[in-house]
Structure 1
Amino acid sequence: MGPPGAPEYGGPMTQPPSAVSVRESGTGTPLVLLHAFPLNAAMWSAQLDELPGPAGDRARVIAPDQRGFGGAGLGSGEPSLEAVADDVVRLLDAAGIDRAVLGGISMGGYVAMAFAERHPDRLAGLLLANTKATADPRAARENRERIASAVLARDSVRLLLDERMANGQLGPDSQHLADRVREMIAAAPPAAVAWAQRAMAARPERLDVLAGLRVPAAVVAGAEDALMPLAEAELMTRALPDAELTVLPGVGHLSAIEAPEAFDAVALRLLERVAAE
């Protein structure tokens, strides 16, 4: 269960989690930020503090925990990023928000693209960071299933923790953040990790979805991201009709944590473009 006051999700679209934990700050243009795998909404602390601005009216920043992570329930549905995208719609409905700018990093980007496909009328702008619109090749899908099966069998995320930290989660200039990232990974429940791995393995290519969008967009890549090649960011930027690409030097896979000021500058520029529409 989420914390006291967390909105209850329901409705016919999916079998929802029991509740969701949501962090929110500021007023103004709604900006929903979707966290990376296997972290939680705590990764957005810098954005929650800074993006609303000194008066708090520059943006309404909303950072939910996705299914099974942080304070969110996992629910009983089959693994599906589409289900998580539908959760975001319920969050908007509960908050009285018609349209929002959606920002996602890594797995959060996958969810944001599923949202764009299923609910384009609710999208005011799109920020995609350290993510890709292509589907996993067979080897990657098999590796996701290997990890899912292992964490469930062992009832531990230690395998995932070791592999993520060893395989380029952080850029060379960001190793001082390793303990913070390890803490969030270690807090991920094995059931949520397995569910999310299987949901990500099942996702389709969505370059055609991006090509059909008519909203301002921004793409962020880490120059030292060993998990997400720069070529994937370039593919998304070319597919999107109105997108700006920013490559952050010295940054790995978690750009919002590693370079919060640079990431926030991209988000603010996108909010300005949305406001000018």
Structure 2
Amino acid sequence: MHFIESGVGTPLVLLHAFPADARMWNPARARLEEQARVITPDQRGLGESPLDGSWARSLAEPSDSNWAAQHPSIDTAAADVLELLDRLELPEVVLGGCSMGGYVAMGVLRAAPERVAGLLLVDTKAVADNDEQRTNRLNAADRAEREGTSGWLADGTLPNVLGRTTHEQRPEVREHVRELIEAQPPEGVAWAQRAMASRPDSTDALRAFAGPALVIVGEEDPLTPPEQARELADVLPEGELVTLPGAGHLPPVEAPEEFADVVRPWLARFA
């Protein structure tokens, strides 16, 4: 599993959104790595992580790798993260995720809550997809396999993941996100879409988590708007909510300094 690591201090594992990779955290990294060991993996099939999970020690047989590749699941993506924590000899971390990364973080919480010292959820949600959302994901997965992803995936994604302010005032951010999307392998895009389509509801897992939790949402996010983020924070016993103005679904990319300025004081409690 490919990952980027920098900084020293509290282990902070950040899971990227779809359809991007670990590089989406780079704009905020410089400010976070001053007080944390920032670890950002590429999730299975995206970035530089292979779809077959061939890096994983827990997959002893090739048939295991083939099965995981052919049966997309957020639980498998969560198991990948736990495998990485074992490799890095990290019994407990502060775990964060944006959008799909939040789904995977909640998968880790369902599987091994003892490994999560604190939870950072960014523009994500606990509930499963409804029928329409699930159908749209499955159709997109089929198209990615059939046609590839060049052009249409970024064109369809950018209006929803970036806020109004970014579209109007930050053309360089828009182009950066487009480049991230265009770089993702079609088979990994298809796998991730199907994994998200089949994910379970994580509300009970969040309700049972007694550790510190920070929910961040972009004020201009059309996919998981602030009112949904409030519902998410209210489920968490120690949940805090911060809304970032001028950002959409990807605050770590759209407003990295403001994002880091919110996360840093929250992280200080783990020092």
Q: TM-score, normalised by structure 2?
A: 0.90
Question: Aligned runs of 1:1-277 on 2, under 5 Å?
Answer: 20-53=1-34, 58-75=35-52, 76=66, 77=68, 78-166=71-159, 168-175=160-167, 176=171, 177-275=173-271
What SS does structure 1 have at the residue aligned with 2:104?
helix
2:97, 2:121 within 8 Å by CA — same for their partners in 1? yes
1:126, 1:217 within 8 Å by CA — same for their partners in 2? yes
- 2:134 maps to a residue whose letter is R
- 1:122 maps to a residue whose letter is R
What whole-Å deviation, never above 9, does each CA across 1:245-276 have from its counterpart, x for those lacking one?
0011121111101111121122212212334x
CA distance in 2, matches of 1:111, 1:156: 23
Q: Please state how far the C-alpha of 1:157 moved relative to its aligned partner.
A: 4.1
CA RMSD of aligned residues (A): 1.1
Q: Please state how far the C-alpha of 1:49 moved relative to its aligned partner.
A: 1.8
Q: Larger relative CO (CA 8 A, sep 6+): 1 or 2?
A: 2
- 1:264 maps to a residue whose letter is A
What whole-Å deviation, never above 9, does each CA across 1:201-226 have from its counterpart, x for those lacking one?
11111111100001100001111111
Question: What residue number does 1:4 align with?
Answer: none
- 2:46 maps to a residue whose letter is F
CA distance in 1, matches of 2:149, 2:181: 11
Q: Please state how far the C-alpha of 1:162 moved relative to its aligned partner.
A: 1.3
What SS does structure 2 have at the residue aligned with 1:228?
coil
Question: What residue number does 1:6 align with?
Answer: none
- 1:247 maps to a residue whose letter is T
What SS does structure 1 have at the residue aligned with 2:18?
coil
1:222, 1:255 within 8 Å by CA — same for their partners in 2? yes
2:246, 2:255 within 8 Å by CA — same for their partners in 1? no
- 1:148 maps to a residue whose letter is A
What SS does structure 1 have at the residue aligned with 2:37?
strand
1:79, 1:196 within 8 Å by CA — same for their partners in 2? yes
CA distance in 1, matches of 2:127, 2:233: 13
1:81, 1:110 within 8 Å by CA — same for their partners in 2? yes
Q: TM-score, normalised by structure 1?
A: 0.88
Q: Please state how far the C-alpha of 1:227 moved relative to its aligned partner.
A: 1.5
Higher helix proportion? 2
Question: What residue number does 1:7 align with?
Answer: none
- 2:48 maps to a residue whose letter is G
